[in-house]
Structure 1
């Protein structure tokens, strides 16, 4: 009887829950517990369970040859990951090439450079699609340190292979040369008592002091673009997988996964003029003239101000007859004395590869006076409403036969005289707050002198000395003179971890970091996220023309808007280091720029 009763109750229960009653009653219960719609509820449940699913891993790397902003070949790296058992394309990055073929180079040189670039890009594509694709498979894209460690080991092995091949080739050449040498015949001896006659003629001109020879160029391993391109692509993939912007991902990597409460935006060094040589003569002291907006302006306001100055400069250079002569100083900071009427710089009607106007000039003062006039015409004052930075590119000025810098055609100055000249320039034009590469990196003594003389008045920046980030990481003194800061460029075998480590070292030494855009730039805007995430003081992107340049300024504006919206934006401060007063307390080592006068 008991068994029959149990069977009857079971049949009643089955009838009760038959049909649509089960899902309806489940939904009622769930709605009581969680006031969400069924779709939202199931979505929340999926998100909750996804935390316990397998983390996305790299399943494929794809490398391909593409064109950069000036039509030269470069490398693109794509990252594919396995996400919830499905292969998914996550992101891609396009590398920039640091090398730029000179415009006045010989045809043979141009052909050789183009062949070398094609070879290195083709080799990089091969590395990505074969070795790196296999090596990094099944790694998590968020594990940047492990990926970069493996990339570094792979690159080191390639360097060793290259050295081994070179040694074998040298040994073979020596053996061939030894076999081909004719038998040696003794040379006639000089009669006793008779000295060898000295060569007659004019005495060769000797420099006042022997200059250090130029350091040999750092060799670039063919295919090294693959290392930098893959490391950056992995960083972008890690940010995408973590659902955060790349700059936040970089900041977490730098601060050991602790998110900074506030972030600063790097101040833009916007290139206004690219001062190219007008003939076969050497460059004339200034390669780039850059504008730096004051820190009190938002980035958007600063860019708009630079655009206004650019428009007025274009108008003046295209219509020199309409330009009034520079006015004498009225006592305000930033005004220079009128050095007399001079013809206007020659204007070239084209945009440089740097995305700015090109011009030629007779001397630096002439150029600066024209810029003062342009600012005055639109109601701005240099040194108050906007500042200047000058890229001197001194390594392009050295005449090694004379041992001096040729600052103008036929005008030569020794390294010591260059220091004195810059002192006079900054005194006369105090609105110049940064000099980039005012001397060669080899002139270390003069770098120390200029930093002691001008370090409290402007930034003395090394760019040419800091191109090899991986070597700076292991030895911060290599090729780097005493300076206020360095320009870092993400090129060749640079890895994200290297960049993070080097900027950490520079921060500890109270150096400023500037992220710089290479000559052969691409449309990839990752450089901006790197600069923000690393906390760089400045960013050097070129001018406000050309798509590959403007894309990065637009990205910078977007980040500013996002940080301001989230109230994570901290105001930047500009401070100069007084190198001559190193014995002073820490809080007296710097001089802050005066704030611009705002209405």
Structure 2
């Protein structure tokens, strides 16, 4: 027993001797004694506290860089009181764990205000399971996957997160296959012979051959199934963002600088321009109380010649005038309107509430009404619509389709085929040329109409795909952002989208000469990282909703803070400075000319 203890002590002594030799070699190689002597000589006349401070700074440079030691996932509430995910990052700094930062990520679920209670209950359960699974992933596995990594190594972090997620997808696939194999097979019913086709109708006297065929419209394609979203995928995007923010915090840099370095291969650009604002001022979509369904959001875009601060002030003034105009309008006459259940109900008041998008929901019964309201406000303020600011319409085409009729319901009882919708939009732009962008004018399934509208309005109005564009992951999987003919995409940071994915998708969009629009989700949290993403990755636009609700105002305030910081640092650049000087149309005041040129070629 004594020999064994002696051998163990001898082994420890040899290990200590080896460590001492390594330390001496390190000091000699880095000439630490001479550097320390120089440091002491330079601080000879300083107070002892200052000397200790210099010594601490010196030795801290020799210490191991901070590394991830703990990641915590928590379920919190977003701006609508619905569950979402928060991630906290802690790092080991000079052998001590220290909390660094936290982020929150919104869920991907859309907010449907008029949904049936059964549908709302099902979605609430789905949302809760998505968040709880993400919390479980983070607290049980992801900390181990990323433990010891340096936060500045974003590429390695995102690579490990991607591998982790692929394993989870494979596990889910195998689980579903196992469940399917364990189900009892149900015998297939005998085939039913289709009835014989009816005889062709007798041709009426004087009817020209082929006329009936020309009046027949193409059948409406059924809606594609929604993209599958694996419960827990929020953990991937949230942790990736949290690590990027931790890297920025440790370097005492704002997040947008860290993101810009990721995009530009660790080199920070010499100047930054702020994204142009898309501010929602009205909501007249399908969930609004009026007959009008077409305009889920009426959006104001201040001139790029304005600073962000001036743009926000302009949007606030317009919003204030909208509220005043609504207060002066007389209440509508009480009418009866047949409901879905065949009963009767009174017409709601002219104004509704502030929607989850942060803008006023208004009762309008015609397409022109919200546009005329904005025109009148513009005139009262001494502004010129189409010069001081422009308009955009979020049509939310996927919400308008009535599949029982195979047509878009633009107003209650007014239905348009996909081909008729093209004519409607062209007429609308002819009458209101200040509308310079249409978001989601159709469902993604109506690709032929996307092509037609793009060709008809390419130099006058920009077509932007939001919900119709699909997720970032799917776009990167197929390396194709041109499935639908459009001029730009709305990018949202949700689910398994990492910082590396966002860098890649912006490179892809820029390479295709498209517009990158960073947009908030339906259900937002108070986290303001989206603004840093837009600034750091060079988005042309940022779409945050209206200037109401705390979760949206935090992002507008972050825009103001970043612009002020850029100006103080002397790296702010006017948005108009990045646009080409050659004039090819009225949109040059908003969009870069190179995009118009590329659109004309394609």
Query: Could you say whether these structures have the same fold, taking a TM-score greater than 0.5 normalized by the shorter chain as the test?
Result: yes
Residue 155 of structure 1 is matched in structure 2 by: 165
Change (3 A) 1:285 1:39: same
Give me the whole-angstrom Cα distance separating, in 2, the residues matched to 1:452 and 1:504. Answer: 25
Give me the whole-angstrom Cα distance separating, in 2, the residues matched to 1:434 and 1:208. Answer: 28
Counterpart of 1:501 in 2: which secondary structure?
helix
Aligned 1:293-442 pairs, distance under 5 A: 293-320=302-329, 347-442=350-445
Deviation of 1:440 (Å): 1.5
Contact 1:465 1:480 in 2 (8 A): no
Q: 1:523 aligns with which of 508, 521, 526?
A: 526
Give me the whole-angstrom Cα distance separating, in 1, the residues matched to 2:230 and 2:544. Answer: 26
Q: Does 1:492 align with 2:495?
A: yes
Residue 176 of structure 1 is matched in structure 2 by: 185
Change (3 A) 1:28 1:72: closer
Contact 1:261 1:568 in 2 (8 A): yes
Spell out, residue by residue over 1:4-53, the C-alpha distance to the aligned partner (whole angstroms, 9 max, x if none): xxxxxxxxxxxxxxxxxxxxxx9999677888665455434433332221
Aligned 1:27-426 pairs, distance under 5 A: 39-40=49-50, 42-173=52-183, 175-178=184-187, 196=196, 198=198, 208-277=217-286, 284-320=293-329, 347-426=350-429
TM-score, normalised on structure 1? Answer: 0.82
Whose radius of gyration is greater, 1 or 2? 1
Contact 1:466 1:479 in 2 (8 A): no
Give me the whole-angstrom Cα distance separating, in 1, the residues matched to 2:117 and 2:495. Answer: 25
Give me the whole-angstrom Cα distance separating, in 1, the residues matched to 2:70 and 2:149. Answer: 10
Contact 1:99 1:520 in 2 (8 A): yes
Spell out, residue by residue over 1:146-182, the C-alpha distance to the aligned partner (whole angstroms, 9 max, x if none): 1111111111111111111212222333x4324xx79
Spell out, residue by residue over 1:195-227, the C-alpha distance to the aligned partner (whole angstroms, 9 max, x if none): 9584999x9x99512333322100111111111
Change (3 A) 1:64 1:28: closer
Counterpart of 2:231 in 1: which secondary structure?
coil
Contact 2:291 2:364 in 1 (8 A): no
Give me the whole-angstrom Cα distance separating, in 2, the residues matched to 1:153 and 1:517. Answer: 27
Q: Does 1:590 align with 2:596?
A: yes
Contact 1:247 1:532 in 2 (8 A): yes
Give me the whole-angstrom Cα distance separating, in 1, the residues matched to 2:495 and 2:99. Answer: 24
Counterpart of 1:250 in 2: which secondary structure?
helix
Change (3 A) 1:207 1:519: farther
Give me the whole-angstrom Cα distance separating, in 2, the residues matched to 1:557 and 1:536. Answer: 16
Change (3 A) 1:279 1:537: closer
Work out the number of aligned pairs and report it. Answer: 529
Unaligned segments of structure 2, at least 5 residues: 1-35, 202-211, 332-347, 586-591
Change (3 A) 1:587 1:469: closer
Give me the whole-angstrom Cα distance separating, in 2, the residues matched to 1:261 and 1:143. Answer: 23
Deviation of 1:421 (Å): 1.7
Contact 1:63 1:126 in 2 (8 A): yes
Deviation of 1:398 (Å): 1.4
Change (3 A) 1:31 1:138: closer
Give me the whole-angstrom Cα distance separating, in 2, the residues matched to 1:577 and 1:153. Answer: 48
Contact 2:464 2:487 in 1 (8 A): yes
Change (3 A) 1:283 1:424: closer
Give me the whole-angstrom Cα distance separating, in 1, the residues matched to 2:233 and 2:458. Answer: 36
Change (3 A) 1:123 1:206: farther
Q: Does 1:557 align with 2:582?
A: no
Contact 2:302 2:311 in 1 (8 A): yes
Contact 1:93 1:524 in 2 (8 A): yes
Counterpart of 2:227 in 1: which secondary structure?
coil
Change (3 A) 1:85 1:417: same
Spell out, residue by residue over 1:326-351, the C-alpha distance to the aligned partner (whole angstroms, 9 max, x if none): xxxxxxxxxxxxxxxxxxx9633521
Counterpart of 2:575 in 1: which secondary structure?
coil
Change (3 A) 1:543 1:176: same
Residue 32 of structure 2 is matched in structure 1 by: none
Change (3 A) 1:478 1:569: closer
Residue 544 of structure 1 is matched in structure 2 by: 547
Change (3 A) 1:139 1:447: same
Change (3 A) 1:197 1:557: closer
Deviation of 1:491 (Å): 0.8
Spell out, residue by residue over 1:270-316, the C-alpha distance to the aligned partner (whole angstroms, 9 max, x if none): 11112244679986111001111111111111111111111111111
Contact 2:276 2:301 in 1 (8 A): yes
Residue 570 of structure 1 is matched in structure 2 by: 573
Give me the whole-angstrom Cα distance separating, in 2, the residues matched to 1:514 and 1:414. Answer: 29
Give me the whole-angstrom Cα distance separating, in 1, the residues matched to 2:583 and 2:542. Answer: 19
